[in-house]
Amino acid sequence: MNDFGGAVKENDTYNIAILGVPYDGRSSYIKGPSKGPQAIRAASTGEAINAWTELGINLEDAVTIVDLGDVDVAGNFSDISVRIEERVWEILAKDGLPIVLGGDHSISLPVVRAMAKKHPLLDILHFDAHPDLYEEFYGDRYSHACPFARILDEGLAKNLVQVGIRASTGAHRQKAAAFGVRTITMKDWQDDLTLAFSNPLYISFDVDVLDPAFAPGVSHLEPGGLSTRQVVNLLHGLEADIVGMDVVEVNPARDISGITAAAAVKIIMEAAAKMTLSIQAKQKEA
């Protein structure tokens, strides 16, 4: 059933762990991303797709991937945040690489807190139509519109690169400039973009970075975005040691034919292939 192209095993030890966070309590407009993990898992079934990625990696053979289920999201946000951080830390303590399925983007802050505890020098590549740099949104400092403001304030990212941005306010631009954020806007997008990171890299992927033509199942439609192909090419060309990722803001209530969940699965699998190449390189060194 929920098996990522047939690649997910039941194992005590693993290289990569999938963890769901079915929470959309900090969504400012419409709800729905709490159903994201379920939709992404359903789209990933080995009955629909196989475990081979475009890079020639068979995720079923090359690496051990487990699915650790969902974080308990009962109660208030501060309790939920602690639980998210703890569940991610359990993965990191076993030297596993977490792939977290959101959920709205508020869940990335506690994930990144755990990541930065493991990797004090952490670079972050943030895919999104929105910079998520609001100081507060409708009075909420932990809104899904704010996680990267908090990540900067808490000093969790050594370098932050935001890609696909097309909804920046003046205040966002000032915040980004003040913290040395590199912003790659859609206005200035070039297909030959390659990115290199010297520190361990965390990827935070809001599916609304994709054009709504490719990913209509999102809460905030923002036309003029990337194609799925452009994102996959950028991932393939990344020079980086990817140590974790999240894929957030899939809203199945607005999806059409499951295409947004399918795009999320594609991106997860191609990123998992890049992670696998890093794992294999480290195994050879050891």
By beta-carbon proximity to Mn ion, the closer residue of 117 and 137 is 137
By beta-carbon proximity to Mn ion, the closer residue of 60 and 104 is 104
Interaction of residue 130 with Mn ion, rule CB under 5 A:
yes
Residue 25 has which token pair? 């309590």
Three-state DSSP string of 94-112: CCCEEEEEECCHHHHHHHH
**What sign has the CA pseudo-torsion 93, 99, 102, 108?**
positive
Residue 158 has which token pair? 């050594």
Distance CA 205, CA 26 (A): 17
Could you check whether the bond before residue 103 is cis, i.e. omega within 30 degrees of 0?
A: yes
State the minimum distance, in angstroms, from the CB of residue 100 to Mn ion: 16
Distance CA 235, CA 226 (A): 13
State the minimum distance, in angstroms, from the CB of residue 163 to Mn ion: 12
Of 104, 208, 255, 270, the one binding Mn ion (CB under 5 A) is 208
By beta-carbon proximity to Mn ion, the closer residue of 208 and 246 is 208
Binding segment (CB under 5 A) for Mn ion, from list 27-35, 126-134, 157-165, 230-238: 126-134
By beta-carbon proximity to Mn ion, the closer residue of 24 and 128 is 128
Distance CA 263, CA 159 (A): 27
Interaction of residue 128 with Mn ion, rule CB under 5 A:
yes
By beta-carbon proximity to Mn ion, the closer residue of 129 and 269 is 129
- The residue to which tokens 């794992």 are assigned: 279
Interaction of residue 104 with Mn ion, rule CB under 5 A:
no
Binding segment (CB under 5 A) for Mn ion, from list 29-37, 120-128, 134-142, 197-205: 120-128
Paired with 206 in beta bridges are 248
Positions touching Mn ion (CB under 5 A) are 128-130, 206, 208
